[in-house]
Chains A and B, each alone.
Chain A
Amino acid sequence: DQQVKQNSPSLSVQEGRISILNCDYTNSMFDYFLWYKKYPAEGPTFLISISSIKDKNEDGRFTVFLNKSAKHLSLHIVPSQPGDSAVYFCAATSDNYGQNFVFGPGTRLSVLP
């Protein structure tokens, strides 16, 4: 049973445009969400997080939106750059999980020059 879903395995975007990566979750107990970025042959790197008391968090070119009623979050990258090409993982947890994060399967983003 996949509790965190990323239904788009891949996404291609032109440089300078907006990239939107989506994530859905099924467990209503989740209240803290993170996005990680992963380059080939490297470990995932933390990108941005959001807790359920907010519906938006922004850090430079990266913004995460959370819609609790829809159990949906999205990561917006504006403007997209070729260096953003990587696999993006959504992860979720709750106080009941301690620090046990449940990861989605990832979306591979390709930013075309």
Chain B
Amino acid sequence: EAGVAQSPRYKIIEKRQSVAFWCNPISGHATLYWYQQILGQGPKLLIQFQNNGVVDDSQLPKDRFSAERLKGVDSTLKIQPAKLEDSAVYLCASSHNAGNSLQPQHFGDGTRLSIL
């Protein structure tokens, strides 16, 4: 089975610019997550989708971050405008069914964002 696909792998922008990341989950996975992983820390959940609906976005900085999953498959995460503290790896993950807490998440390889 194909894994979670993310692009781009790397992105370098200046502060106050905007950036977008794309994620294609594993086929058939209803639940999609975006995580932010700052160097030396564990992944922190930004937003969780179930199909095309938002389940949890309590840790998403909504003044600058937005995410969508319009057709319940692919998703994009946008930052506008970027700040220096947004430098991190942005990980996308998917899982089979949010109703079953025993389902592990499958992660993509992430997008490494550097803000200059």
Per-position 1/0 for A81-113, Cβ under 8 A of B? 000000001010111001111111110000000
Interface residues of B in 16-50 (CB under 8 A from A): 31, 33, 40-45, 48
Q: Tell me if A59 is interfacial: C-beta within 8 Å of chain B.
A: no
Shortest beta-carbon distance, B93 to chain A, in Å?
A: 7
Find B42's partner among A46, A49, A51, A104 (CB 8 Å cutoff). Answer: A104
Chain A interface residue count, CB cutoff 8 Å, equals: 26
- In the complex, residue of chain A having the shortest beta-carbon distance to the beta carbon of B9: A41
The answer for the CA separation of A106 and B91 in the assembled complex, in Å, is 16
Q: Tell me if B56 is interfacial: C-beta within 8 Å of chain A.
A: yes
Contacting pair A43 B4 (CB below 8 A): yes
The answer for the CA separation of A11 and B98 in the assembled complex, in Å, is 34
Chain B interface size, under 10 / 10 to 19 / 20 to 34 / 35 or more:
20 to 34
Contacting pair A98 B55 (CB below 8 A): yes
- Which residues does chain B contribute within 8 Å of A44, judged by CB atoms? 43, 91, 107
Q: Tell me if A45 is interfacial: C-beta within 8 Å of chain B.
A: yes
Find A98's partner among B44, B56, B108 (CB 8 Å cutoff). Answer: B56
- Which residues does chain A contribute within 8 Å of B93, judged by CB atoms? 43
- Which residues does chain A contribute within 8 Å of B31, judged by CB atoms? 99
The answer for the CA separation of A51 and B4 in the assembled complex, in Å, is 25
List chain A positions with a Cβ less than 8 A from chain B.
4, 32, 34, 36, 41-46, 49, 51, 89, 91, 93-95, 98-106
List chain B positions with a Cβ less than 8 A from chain A.
4, 31, 33, 40-45, 48, 55-56, 91, 93, 95, 98, 101-110
